[in-house]
Amino acid sequence: MRAAGTASLDERATELAGETPPGPIRRVNRPKAAARDWYDTLSEWYDTVADPFESRPRASGIELLDPTPGERVLDVGCGTGTALVDLTHRVGRDGSGVGIDLADGMCRISRRALTNAGLQEGHVVKGDAAALPFADTTFDALFASFVLELFDTPELVPVLEEWQRVLTSGGRLCVVSLSRREAGPLTWLYESVHDRMPTYADCRPIFVRDTLREAGFRITATRESAVWRFPVEIVCCRPE
């Protein structure tokens, strides 16, 4: 039985056929070094502030991705390692869970989370999700929760193409992201804050499914959620 909130590809294609084409999204006008330093500063108390709101859509995304024992899974922008621990548990001793993050502090806390969970098969790499330090077709699945929307608009498709590079031919990607598809006054207010403080409010909403299609992915399932009453898209897809 299909989980509540999930739609098949055919059902979503029918629904999307009548949608208004997406409009513009905000740029992310802050240097990558500023993002790295900001999340490094946030790392020790990030879960206290964000996890109560992000945990439900993140868990829904992991469920949709459905990692299985023996798979190799990459958590892109692993943050404090909450998703990485879950993913590594699911792939088991015959699989591997790898996290990558730009911020030293996030990497440190992710490694601590894996150690505390007794997961020797989990690993954390410091690096840029736009230039992954992995060979082609390394992973069976990629997971990215509240990460894609951190990249500036011209970077979105190249970043996704880079993620596709490290996926196996039958691999899959799940993206959990703030969505602009149902934008209303609250989203517009947040975007105005983002315009004024792009380093601290850098996670602006995007058109998730459209961006994934543009980068050469085929949508297989979607769910909807919310964070702080902002719409969230949870999208699972595969390379075309």
Query: Which amino acid, 191?
Result: E
Q: What percent of the chain has pLDDT over 90?
A: 75
Helix (H, G, I), strand (E, B) or coil at 1: coil
Residue 20, C-beta contacts closer than 8 angstroms, at least 6 positions apart: none
Q: What is residue 198's predicted lDDT score, i.e. its pLDDT?
A: 72
> Which residues, in sequence order, are CB contacts of 5 under 8 Å at separation 6+?
60, 223, 224, 225
- In this predicted structure, what is the pLDDT of residue 17? 38
The pTM (predicted TM-score) of the whole model is 0.87
CB 215 within 8 A of CB 164: yes
What type of residue sits at position 28?
V
Secondary element (H or E) of residue 98: strand 96-101
Domains in the chain and their CATH numbers?
A: 9-15+30-180+187-227+234-239 (3.40.50.150)
Handedness of CA 212, 96, 75, 220 (dihedral sign): positive
Residues of the chain with pLDDT under 50: 1-18
- Which H or E element spans position 75? strand 72-76
State the Cα–Cα distance between residues 131 and 169, nearest whole angstrom.
19
What's the pLDDT at 9?
Answer: 39
Instruction: Give me the pLDDT at residue 181, please.
Output: 84
